[in-house]
Amino acid sequence: MWRIRFIPDQTKFPFLKWRKGFFVLSALLIIASAVLLGGKGLDFGIDFSGGVLIEIETKTATDLPQIRSILGNLELGDIALQKFGEETHALIRIEKQDAGGQAQQEIIARVKQALTVYPESISYRRTESVGPKVGDELIQAGIIAIIVAVALMLAYIWFRFELPFAIGAIIALIHDIALTLGMLSLTGFEVNLASVAAVLLIIGYSMNDTVVVYDRVRENLRKYKSMSLIELLNQSVNETLSRTVITSGTTLLALLALFIFGGEVIRGFSFTMIWGVIAGTYSSVFVAGALLLYVKPQRGNKSKSDSKYANAERLQADADLQMSDFLSKQNTSGSSLENTMSKEEINPEIKRTGGKRSSNKKNRRKRRNRRKD
């Protein structure tokens, strides 16, 4: 069947050889993010800073200067006014009132009252008011959520893998969060509750990608006992390259659809996610694997899920025998070049392992039976 594979099957990029370059790049990006965060900072929406947000819709293009002059008379402090998505939509943002949420309620009433002067009838698409106290609580909840998420990820990876993997994954994770925050600062997208959701999801997704690479590293560590660590890591990253890129690719496709068509309200959210997924993929391929070189995962039989692996190995050996059995039957019909080639590539490690012949006989019998009918 007709297919296009954009990614070659056997890549042999010397990722690990380039690692210093990528470390420098990542370090520069993180420093740039830190500088941006320290200098420009984040544009906190009313969810966190408190205040009033009103989205209005007018019949024809909104006359911002007129609205500005109407609201200017109210002396409400800092008012931000901007077009929102469409010509007829505008966003009014009024900074928090120290007097609290109830004072903001009065402001909403006053703004609506004042805007009756506007020549066209205005419809209110959205009215949000977050009191200063609630804003502080939401910031706190957001920070706690992110810390708890990172801690749980660490615990999970530690439990499923080993400590060195967890350390590598957490560094990659912090890298991704830093880059995401830097990008948010650079683009000036509003940071709100949805941004926290996006960051949490990036944490999950970044782990997701890193786990795919680390899973392969763990597997290869058992498979190739004498291979040098650097070579092994490089091979693992290359082996998982296509799946890392494709999984991120499908997610990006969906996110792009969301970014372009999902409407103005969640544009910031989808942008954050898109950037986070890109950063996560980059760090999984170029950073996470290379980090293991420095934290040195254990090799040999001490690993936690050894028994599981032994099972997998047995299965593989079993399947292997099935295969040779199958191939011998197929030989007459002419097996493909690819098959014979790859047969030689079978890992000697696996060949050495004894399979359960008895069960295999059964399988063979079954197969024969099936072929008869």
Eight-class DSSP state of 283 = I
> With binding defined as CB under 8 A, does residue 181 bind another protein?
no
Among 33, 55, 58, 190, binds another protein (CB under 8 A): 55
> With binding defined as CB under 8 A, does residue 223 bind another protein?
no
Among 229, 266, 278, 293, binds another protein (CB under 8 A): 266
Among the listed ranges 5-13, 176-184, 220-228, 285-293, the one in contact with another protein (CB under 8 A) is 5-13
Comparison of 55 and 190: residue with beta carbon closer to another protein: 55
- Output the smallest distance, CB 359 to another protein, in A: 13
> With binding defined as CB under 8 A, does residue 364 bind another protein?
no
Report the SS3 class of residue 329: helix
Among 81, 134, 139, 186, binds another protein (CB under 8 A): 134
Q: How many residues bind another protein (CB under 8 A)?
A: 101
Q: How far apart are CA 293 and CA 195, in angstroms?
A: 33
> With binding defined as CB under 8 A, does residue 211 bind another protein?
yes
- Output the smallest distance, CB 170 to another protein, in A: 12
Q: Which of 177, 168, 176 is nearest to 237 (CA)?
A: 168
The maximal CA–CA distance of the chain, rounded, in angstroms, is: 92
Q: Where are the beta strands (DSSP E) in the chain?
A: 43-44, 51-57, 79-84, 86-95, 123-130, 190-191
- Output the smallest distance, CB 107 to another protein, in A: 11
> With binding defined as CB under 8 A, does residue 187 bind another protein?
no
> With binding defined as CB under 8 A, does residue 205 bind another protein?
yes
Whether 302 contacts 162, CB under 8 Å: no
Comparison of 47 and 291: residue with beta carbon closer to another protein: 47
Please report, as residue ranges, which positions from 304 to 363 form the binding site for another protein (by CB under 8 A): 308, 312, 315-316, 319-320, 322-323, 326-327, 330, 333, 336, 338-340, 342-343, 345-347
DSSP track, 159-190: HHS-HHHHHHHHHHHHHHHHHHHHHHHHHTPE
> With binding defined as CB under 8 A, does residue 136 bind another protein?
no
Please report, as residue ranges, which positions from 145 to 174 form the binding site for another protein (by CB under 8 A): 145, 148-149, 152-153, 156-157, 160
Among the listed ranges 14-22, 176-184, 247-255, 352-360, the one in contact with another protein (CB under 8 A) is 247-255
Whether 49 contacts 96, CB under 8 Å: yes
Eight-class DSSP state of 332 = G
The structure tokens listed for 52 are 């009033």
> With binding defined as CB under 8 A, does residue 126 bind another protein?
yes
The structure tokens listed for 48 are 């966190």
Among the listed ranges 71-79, 128-136, 183-191, 223-231, the one in contact with another protein (CB under 8 A) is 128-136
Q: Phi first, then psi: give them for residue 90, nearest 5 degrees.
A: -140, 155
DSSP track, 335-352: --HHHHHHHHHS-HHHHH
> With binding defined as CB under 8 A, does residue 204 bind another protein?
yes
- Output the smallest distance, CB 63 to another protein, in A: 19
Comparison of 234 and 270: residue with beta carbon closer to another protein: 270
Measured CA to CA in angstroms, residue 52 lies from 45, 193, 266, 335 at distances of 10, 15, 19, 72
- Output the smallest distance, CB 49 to another protein, in A: 13
* Residue whose entry in the numeric block shows the structure tokens 């008011």: 129
> With binding defined as CB under 8 A, does residue 127 bind another protein?
yes
Q: How far apart are CA 355 and CA 339, in angstroms?
A: 22
